[in-house]
Amino acid sequence: MYRSLSPLSNRGAGTVEHGGRTFINLSSNDYLGLAGNSALIEEFYTARTEANTMDRFAPGTASSRLLTGDLQLSHELESLIAGLYGRESALLFNSGYHANIGILPSLLTKHDLILSDKLNHASIHDGLQICRAEFKRFRHGDYRHLETLLQTHRDDHRLVAIVSESVFSMDGDCADLETLVELKQRYKCLLYLDEAHSIGVYGTKGLGLAELRGCIDEIDLLVGTFGKACGSVGAFLVSDEIIRAYLINRSRPLIFTTALPPVVLNWNHFVMSRLASMQARRDKLTQTSRELRKKLENAGLQTGGSTNIIPVIIGAADQTVEGAKMLQNNGFYVLPVRPPTVPKGTSRFRLSLTADHDIEMLAPLPGLIRNWLDGK
């Protein structure tokens, strides 16, 4: 289970260099291929001038937003995001982790209850631990279990928040947003949705699964990140204005953190304003993911989910580590996913596809894994 750091270089179109070798990169969250898109990065920097360098391209703010780190560019980005989602307001956070430990603990009290999907991201679970509200986990994707908890506990609490990811990062499956919205409405709850692995990938505007399902207006607290498909860092909350104002005064990860630097804010604005024009990338990613999943299943491998995140379940952690080394020896940068990231006995290869991949470059994978397993 021991982990160590491993420096990489020269990210390219679905590739990465390590130890002097070039690998097909299947361990990244760069779903649209923007982080390694040199042409797009060059286009971004062509806008730099001597006059705008400090406001839009400087590397730091040296202060929190409530001191001297609040930039006009921050407000421009928040206004853009709120407008894209058709909501009253948006609020920036330095990462999805900051958002998930900073929103619910600020809003909910000991009189409240949080009902959270058991397979939600670790940052959500950490947020539950520091929240004064009571919390309970419902079985992953089991909305009958969720409703049973609501029937039993709703009347005993002032506020109840239902919390889920839209796309689950280790299983590659999707929440049933229609059912979550229906339960939220029927039991008069707040609905908190983490769209970290959905932004950029779904919807005609690239706004995520809630856009695709047509329920953005029903999500009380919608969290998105720039650190996956947008090829950057940072996160945002889409909500009502009163919630934004409250969090500015109460959310400790926002108040006591140095603000995002201008160059990051500028890139995030640059990408968010272009997401709608990237439908061809989304379409290619969807098609390649479907084809690879089918080939893996045809090879008799245990997969899961329905997205561009394709888990291949191996089981034992030590065997998964060994298999990942085999794939790396064959030019595929695949890392083993083990407990505590996933439950014991479900260690896996998490094949994370991007728009830079095509089925031809991935074609050897099913045979490599199958032959390796057969030789065990």
Residues serving a catalytic function are 169, 197, 228
Q: Report the candidate in 353, 366, 361 with the shortest Cα–Cα distance to residue 312.
A: 366
Task: Assess contact for 141 and 173: CB atoms under 8 A.
Answer: yes
Task: Assess contact for 364 and 299: CB atoms under 8 A.
Answer: no
Q: Six-digit token pair at 141?
A: 């994707």
Task: Assess contact for 101 and 253: CB atoms under 8 A.
Answer: yes
Helical pair 364-374 and 279-298, crossing angle rounded to 10 deg = 30
Task: Assess contact for 243 and 221: CB atoms under 8 A.
Answer: yes
CA distance 178 to 218: 10
CA distance 85 to 140: 27
Q: Report the candidate in 140, 149, 162, 138 with the shortest Cα–Cα distance to residue 221.
A: 162
Give one DSSP letter per residue of 332-355, joined into a string: EE--EE-TTTS-TT-EEEEEE--T
Length of the chain: 376
Between vectors from CA 186 to CA 140 and to CA 116, what angle results, nearest 5°? 25
Contacts for 154-157 with beta carbons within 8 Å, 24 or more apart? 154/113, 154/187, 154/188, 154/189, 156/113, 157/111, 157/112, 157/113
CA distance 187 to 374: 50
Q: Six-digit token pair at 304?
A: 């899961």
**Cis status of the peptide bond prior to 336, with omega within 30 of 0:** no
CA distance 230 to 236: 12
- Bridge partners of 214? none
